[in-house]
Structure 1
Amino acid sequence: MTHAGVGGGTDITARMMMVQAPAVFGQEFTVVNRTAGSGAQALQYVASKPADGHTIILMTQTHILTQLRNPSLPQFADFIPVARATADPHLVLVRRDSPFRTPADLINAGKERSLRFGGTHVGGTDHVVIFAFGRASGIQRPTLVPFRGGGEVVINVVGGNVDTAVVNPGEAEAQLRAGEVRPLISLAETRLEAFADVPTAKELGIDATGYTLRGFCVFKGTPDDRVARLESGLIEAMSGQVYRTYLQNTGQMPESVTGREAWGAQLTQFNRDGREALQALGLLRG
């Protein structure tokens, strides 16, 4: 079950997992696309099915933000995390000739004025990550300048229309290769192999991480033994060469695939950060 249309990134992730899953589980898999309502229809669909482990949802941060803003929907606590499929880290980027040469330059400037951060739509994942980074780094609340997608965000960083931006490496691949943008801070847990010289926020004393996440969950009430079987089977299916090649070709972290403990911790953190951010931004009551 996915909220993405056929051919979207989340849909493709599900289908790549399914290349080897039938052999692992001894049964066929089918992708069900429910695209309406920023994940709302997908959440409702899963909740309408028996909690027997035969219906799984490929959940993203979009689902959590939709849940937070729509309390009538099945909520985060109604789902059991099973296994993470992708973890695409964010980089804090500036243009080549930016006056911010170091992380300290950026942070110090942010304490003097509100920095203009490029990102996607108001109240979306980027907005939450930017808000959380700003709060953790002690800078003035950043100003989000929203664009239609990551590619457009990067173009506006290069053009000097924003001070900085939070983007995935794959979204800025061409500009990074051409030297048109410079990463100052990584929001990954540990340094990225491809950006070994870029410090993480945590190394700088900033308790903030940022990823684009996708992973599998089931509805609460699913028996523990079935959750455990799904966890081990999904990890096995995503540990094969086909899925590893998919991660590599799309610029995802090779360590993307992990079990329910780490996946659940990330979702819990984003649920907390998302609620605080939406409330502070006036996009959520209570």
Structure 2
Amino acid sequence: TLIPGLVAAQDFPNGPIEVINNSKPGGGSDIFLRFATERAADILGTEFIHISKTGGVSTNTLKYVAGKPRDGHTLVIVNAGTALTMMRGTVDLTKEDIVPLVRGTIDPEFVVVKAGRFGDAADFIDFARNNPIKQAGTKVGGNPHVSALIFRNAVGMKDQVYVPFEKSGEIVINVINGNVDVALLNYDEFEAQAGAGEVEALAILTPERSSNSPDSPTGHEAGIPVDISVVRGIGVMSGTPEAVIEKLEAALLESMNSQGYLDYLAGSGQTAASIAGREEFGAQFEAMYEGYQAVAADLLK
């Protein structure tokens, strides 16, 4: 006699799998999810339907997922917005209600300033500890705002003024024009302007240097002891049969190790090292949640 979980896995999937994200169609998370699941459709023999549920960072995304059966036919983006929304208590879900299945990207943040404005990272740190700093980002209360607060604490800034913009292109322009002092950006967001000598990266906020910008020291080398990256993964609701979870994890990992997905990663300077399974990604999501709690009081003022 087969146990129920194995029966569920044998019959799974028995219909399309919905993939829910918190960005608009064509946004970073939407593009990631489409590339990540492209091969999984063939592997599992079913269709993946991508649905955007925007609003309240990830509030509408998680509310939608919470109302679906816990049978593996609904997947959800797991990123900083997921942790932030749960931490705020705007949904009835906690981090225990999500199983982070696979991680697909770790796109590191660089400390970007106007070229020539500071001698090096140490010069910037000294300035930031003695003067107010205007730091550019996007939506107030969103993921970049949280990263800015974590960065502020790591630097030991005297006073940080968060200046929000709609898009990264606007951020770069305002860094160049001197309207803001600093921004945290992914490499592809400032690559062209760095090549033109208009901006420069003082540090990369990862444990290791990047092949894209090998002369940029890590934050740890530069005296900014923090790691900040844009992390995206895929999760499923807790309570989904374990055998189904294992089947999904295996299919998604196989899909993301395909050449098409690896080419997508290479486009932002990432490698297969960005890909991880449930154990590693689960521990990372837990740490992300704890890091956000450390700045929660400032964020919710």
Q: Which TM-score applies when normalising by structure 1?
A: 0.91
Whole-angstrom CA distance in 1 between matches of 2:150 and 2:242: 33
SS at match of 1:231: helix
1:109 to 100, 124, 127: 127
Where 2:293 maps in the other structure, the secondary structure is helix
- Secondary structure of 1:280's aligned partner: helix
Residues 123 and 278 of structure 1 are in contact (CA less than 8 Å); yes or no, is this contact kept in structure 2?
no
Paired residue for 1:238? 256
Are the counterparts in 2 of residues 135 and 141 from structure 1 also a CA contact under 8 Å? no
Instruction: Tell me, in whole angstroms, the C-alpha distance in 2 between the residues paired with 1:36 and 1:109.
Output: 37
Q: Give, in whole Å, the separation in 2 of the partners of 1:63 and 1:31.
A: 17
Residues 59 and 91 in structure 2, CA contact (< 8 A), matched pair in contact too: no
Give the percent of matched residue pairs that are identical in Structure 1 and Structure 2: 37
Measured after TM superposition, the shift of residue 241 of structure 1 is 1.0
Q: How does 1:122-161 map to 2 (within 5 A)?
A: 122-161=140-179
On the 8 A contact 2:62/2:91 being kept in 1, the answer is: no
- The offset of 1:101, in angstroms, is 1.3
Alignment of 1:253 with 2:270, yes or no, is yes
From 35, 44, 49, give the equivalent of 2:63: 44
Moved more, 120-129 or 149-158: 120-129
Deviation at 1:214, TM superposition (A): 1.3
One-letter code aligned to 2:63: Q
Cα distance in 2, alignment partners of residues 80 and 147 from structure 1: 33
Show structure 2 runs of 5+ residues with no match. 1-19
**Partners of 2:128 and 2:155 within 8 A in 1:** no
Deviation, structure 1 residue 205? 4.6
| RMSD value, Cα | 1.9
Please say if 1:277 is aligned against 2:281: no
Q: What SS class does the counterpart of residue 45 from structure 1 fall into? A: helix
Q: Is this contact kept in 1: 2:23–2:53, CA < 8 A?
A: yes
Within a 5 Å distance, the mapping from 1:87-106 to structure 2 comes to 87-98=106-117, 100-106=118-124
Task: Write the distance in 2 (CA, Å) between the matches of 1:139 and 1:200.
Answer: 19
Q: CA deviation at 1:185?
A: 0.9
Residue in structure 1 matched with residue 7 of structure 2 by the alignment: none
CA deviation string 1:219-262 (max 9, x = no partner): 1112333323222221110111111112223x152232212233
1:12 is displaced (CA, Å) by: 1.7
Asked if residue 27 in structure 1 is aligned to residue 27 in structure 2, the reply is no
What's the counterpart of residue 15 of structure 1? Answer: 34
SS at match of 1:59: strand
Question: Equivalent residue of 2:183, what SS?
Answer: strand
> Which residue, out of 213, 216, 221, partners 1:198?
216
Moved over 4 A (4+): none
Does structure 2 retain, via aligned residues, the 8 Å contact 1:83–1:216?
A: yes
1:123 partner amino acid? G
Taking structure 2 as the reference length, the TM-score comes to: 0.86
Structure number with bigger Rg: 2
Q: Does 1:262 align with 2:285?
A: no
Instruction: For 1:128 and 1:36, locate their aligned partners in 2 and report how far apart those are by CA, in whole Å.
Output: 17
Match of 1:49, SS state, is coil
Which residue is 2:12 aligned to? none
State the Cα distance separating 1:167 from its structure 2 match. Answer: 0.9
- Using the alignment, how far apart are the partners of 2:182 and 2:161 within structure 1? 10
What's the CA shift string for 1:94-136, capped at 9, x where partnerless?
11130x1111101111121232211112222222112112212
- Name the residue aligned to 2:88: 69
Whether the 8 Å contact between 2:134 and 2:161 is mirrored in structure 1 is yes
Runs of 5+ consecutive residues of structure 1 not aligned to the other structure? none
Count how many residue pairs are aligned between Structure 1 and Structure 2.
281
Contact 1:87 1:252 in 2 (8 A): no
Whole-Å separation in 1 of the counterparts to 2:248 and 2:115: 46
Whole-Å Cα distance in 2 between the matches of residues 102 and 156 of structure 1? 20
Question: Partner residue of 2:77?
Answer: 58
